[in-house]
Amino acid sequence: MNFLIALYFLLFLFLSRLNLKMAVLVLIFSLPSYLIRFNIFSVPTTLLEVMILIVFTFFLFNKRKEIFKNTTKKWAQKIPYPFSWEIILILALSFVAIFIADLNSSALGIFKAYFLEPIFLFIVIVNIFRSEKDIKKIFYALSLSALTVSLVAIWQKITGQFIFNEFWANPENRRVVSFFGYPNAVALYLGPIIPISIGLFIYKIKERGSLNSFLKQLILFITILSSCLAIYFSKSKGAILAIGLSFVFVIFILIKRKYKIYLLILFLALIPSFYFYKKDWINLKLSSSLSYQIRLVGWQETTTMLNDGNFLWGAGLANYQNKIKDYHQEGLFFNKDADPDFSRKIIIFDDKYRVERWQPLETYLYPHNIFLNFWTEIGLIGAIIFMFLIFKSLFISLKAGLKEKNSKESFLYLGIFSSLLIIIIHGIFDVPYFKNDLSVLFWVILSILAIYQLKQKTKKYE
């Protein structure tokens, strides 16, 4: 195993020296490679992390003249770096969060893997990928990665192989995990890539036909279909909801104005009736959803912990489990039968009824809400800045998509917009950032928007 890893690094070093762009594309395709873990001089790391450090080192070497001798064009120095102040503040606050967590090795590991190294890759991509052709290459790399992950997941659904959790492998309630250790990881990874693949697919449809173009369209179509199936087989309700809502929102943006007005009127008219007639039904569904009830308890515990002396700085990096243990609820009574009289029965019925409906609760790494996740890790200010960055990115991608509305490029940026929207919506119930592949994926998406911004700003100087 160590020999194979060493051989891979030698080949990747050679590729980075020969063609840095291609090395970055291989890295993007290989985002799940963080699962390959090992130590270098007793320091734990992953295959993905080392690849990022290799491409960043070669980038610095290739740009050494511009960095140290100031040989860049004068007009280029006037253009502000995209997302520059947000990046600086996030790095600073995540660095401070290491000390909030008492400077432990886990906090240092989270800092480098979830913040420092993804931002290193962001810097590399923004500096070496500049054209529309380059952006499409990034889209292809992500799509092929999604295709690989999803095909493994579909194979698992059919055969049950390589699902090492017996409960998930059981045909009656099988949930696929692909390369990952749990089903939600499949949905968290594939969800944001699906609209990117759809945007590229529509882009290719609008190109002139050729055999090469047709083959690319076919591969992208298979990617989209297999990714959707993989998410369905993972049974991630949050991902399915996020994808559905994001697509509805994008379709609403694209339809003609008069139809938007009709839909808004219909929606506003239905809200009161749905609330009054379906309120009890919604409450019953939520009370019988175990995942929702677990998250609700987690949010309540986290809010209590934050208000108890941790309001500004949170828990610190990788320190949530340690902080939350004093506030953790051991379990809850779960309405597994969707019994409308559950609240009364849990009080008046015998011990057997209560024991059957008692659900023990584990202590999770994060509170499973995108704002609370960042708040507990890098503090309230860090959470606000990160949410600002995401909504700013949504605005930029939507503006770019609408600006290019009559061109095929619009679908690339609307794909990015939908991808970010999925991250936000899924993030209401899950952890779409604090994982090696997901943090890098987020900054790869942001790098595409940064390239677009730079391209727009440099037009007036060229």
Q: Give the angle 113-119-123 at the CA atoms, nearest 5°.
A: 145
**Average pLDDT of 231-247?**
94
Q: Do 454 and 130 touch, CB atoms closer than 8 A?
A: yes
Q: What confidence score (pLDDT) does residue 345 get?
A: 78
Compute how many other C-beta atoms are within 10 angstroms of the C-beta atom of residue 66: 13
Q: In the predicted model, what is the mean pLDDT of the chain?
A: 88
Q: Band the pLDDT of 68: cuts 50, 70, 90.
A: very low
Distances (CA, A) of 31 to 19, 22, 51, 146, 307: 19, 15, 10, 10, 36
pLDDT of 107 strictly over 50: yes
Q: Do 46 and 35 touch, CB atoms closer than 8 A?
A: yes
How many whole angstroms separate alpha carbon 401 and alpha carbon 413? 5
pLDDT of 11 strictly over 60: yes
Q: Give the angle 400-435-365 at the CA atoms, nearest 5°.
A: 130
Range of lowest pLDDT (121-130, 137-146, 380-389, 434-443):
121-130
User: Using CB atoms within 10 A of its CB, is residue 229 exposed (0-12), middle (13-18) or buried (19+)?
Assistant: middle
Torsion 99-101-106-107 (CA) sign: negative
Q: Do 387 and 317 touch, CB atoms closer than 8 A?
A: no
Q: What confidence score (pLDDT) does residue 3 get?
A: 80
**Average pLDDT of 327-346?**
79
How many whole angstroms separate alpha carbon 385 and alpha carbon 86? 7
Quote the percentage of the chain above a pLDDT of 70: 90
Q: Hey, which residues does 331 pair with through a beta bridge?
A: 360
Range of lowest pLDDT (24-28, 39-43, 207-211, 457-461):
457-461
How many whole angstroms separate alpha carbon 64 and alpha carbon 68? 6
pTM above 0.75, yes or no: yes
**Average pLDDT of 298-326?**
94
